[in-house]
Amino acid sequence: MHKSLASAALLLLAFSAPSLAQTRPPAQIALENRRAASLTELTVADADGNVVGRLARPIAGGKKSVLKLTRPKGCEMAVQAKFDDEGEVEETINFCREKVLRFTE
């Protein structure tokens, strides 16, 4: 009986380990532009207002990319995006939970 208790504890640790890792923001996030318009500008700023990520080149509609984050502080980050059809997005996103930033119509 003692052996099965130890196995259950190990199983519990295996399932709880990913939640511990989610307290830190990722070094990069995946970008998916599911809109028809191209994503022309993207800025990600941490809670202190420091820009930690900026789009290097436009992402065409239907394409994917990766955005590297430079020393982000905290999980909550402000995202500002602009598209070539004059669409804009301004949101605060928890990147400890969300690893993919998807733009849709």
Domain extent at residue 66: 24-103
Closest CA to 39 of 90, 85, 70, 82: 82
Query: How confident is the model at residue 11, as a pLDDT?
Result: 36
1-59 per-position pLDDT tens digit = 444 333 333 333 333 344 444 578 889 999 999 999 999 999 999 989 999 999 999 99
Let me know if residue 87 belongs to a domain.
yes
Let me know if residue 64 belongs to a domain.
yes
Instruction: Tally the domains of the chain.
Output: 1
Q: Looking at residue 49, which CATH number applies to its domain?
A: 2.60.40.2890
Let me know if residue 96 belongs to a domain.
yes
Let me know if residue 80 belongs to a domain.
yes
Let me know if residue 12 belongs to a domain.
no
The single residue listed with the structure tokens 């190990």 is: 10
Let me know if residue 6 belongs to a domain.
no
Tokens, residue 104: 């849709």
56-103 per-position pLDDT tens digit = 999 999 999 999 999 888 999 999 999 999 999 999 999 999 989 999
